[in-house]
Chain A
């Protein structure tokens, strides 16, 4: 079971961070956070970006952990497959959440 969990963990963490950031974005738009800014920097954008970086860091940490002896899988096959899904998690975080950096948060009409 530990082997299966190890395999599922990185994409699961992606799913959690993806949903959390989508939720954060929805809440922010609903509560009109983009209108709050501090010295030209929108606090909302700042929050979204920090959440994204945190998500990236988590995936990188997971990848490192998978290389450590303590978290290694029992067999070479499971070790390889876990690393593969570890990379899936990292790529997914970068790929699916990059819009936080480039797109207007909630549109001109809030």
Chain B
């Protein structure tokens, strides 16, 4: 994987899906590399088969049934169905693992989007809200309850997890987690009007101490 990364432009980046900084993003990143390898192999196979059709050959006495057996039943049905069945099951398994589940150390926060601001609130610190910055503890699963006050937005911190929409009238819950303390960039990822590009936020992951300070209101 590292090789592929350096061959191309590179994987790292503040918004890079393939530079994961949390378990969910890492799982999906692995999924991507597996699928990329598989796709490359299949593409290679198809291109070889296609190229070979142009080789000089006897005018084969067009035998339909043999052709159908190889091309349609063999490659078209058996081959594609086995690859796709495996991928479907693997993908759903991954999805299942990423679902938010209740647990003792889960931290609950909420995110409320509007044109063009994000406001965050914290179950551990009732009444306190922050605009444009979401504070979370590092190394602990955080469930973000996402909603919107006006149009559809989407909550996305590429290095931590996939995205989930903020839809008026609905509350969606996304599980994120950062391995290490630090700052992570977040974006709104559903077109929401002229301020779309600047509709961003930051996730600050704190170590245990700083998080306790934040929760108790000691910090700032």
Contact = CB atoms under 8 A, between A and B. Distances in A.
A57 B179 CA distance: 49
Interface stretch (B26-34, B57-65, B98-106, B212-220): B98-106
A99 interface: yes
Interface residues of A, number: 8
A109 B92 contact: no
Contacts of B110: none
A48 B194 CA distance: 44
Given A95-B85, A95-B88, A103-B92, 8 more contacts: A99-B92, A104-B96, A107-B99, A107-B173, A108-B99, A108-B101, A108-B102, A109-B173
Interface string A82-109: 0000000000000100010011100111
Contacts of A102: 92
Q: Which of A99, A102, A109 has the largest count of B CB atoms less than 10 A from its CB?
A: A109
Q: Is the interface of B mostly helix, strand, loop or mixed?
A: mixed
Contacts of A103: 92, 96
A95 B92 CA distance: 13
A109 B92 CA distance: 19
17 contacts: A95-B85, A95-B88, A99-B92, A102-B92, A103-B92, A103-B96, A104-B96, A104-B99, A107-B99, A107-B100, A107-B173, A108-B99, A108-B100, A108-B101, A108-B102, A109-B100, A109-B173
A80 B96 CA distance: 40
By size class, the interface of chain B is under 10
Interface in B79-114: 85, 88, 92, 96, 99-102
B162 to A, nearest CB: 15
A107 B88 CA distance: 19
Contacts of B100: 107-109
Contacts of A109: 100, 173
A103 B89 CA distance: 11
Nearest to B101: A108
A90 to B, nearest CB: 13
A109 B146 CA distance: 13
Nearest to B143: A109
Contacts of B102: 108
Contacts of B92: 99, 102-103
A99 B93 CA distance: 11
A98 B140 CA distance: 33
A108 B92 CA distance: 16
Contacts of B88: 95
A109 B85 CA distance: 29
Contacts of A108: 99-102
B82 to A, nearest CB: 12
A109 B145 CA distance: 11
A107 B102 CA distance: 10
A103 B99 CA distance: 11
A95 B85 CA distance: 8
A102 B100 CA distance: 17
A102 B102 CA distance: 19
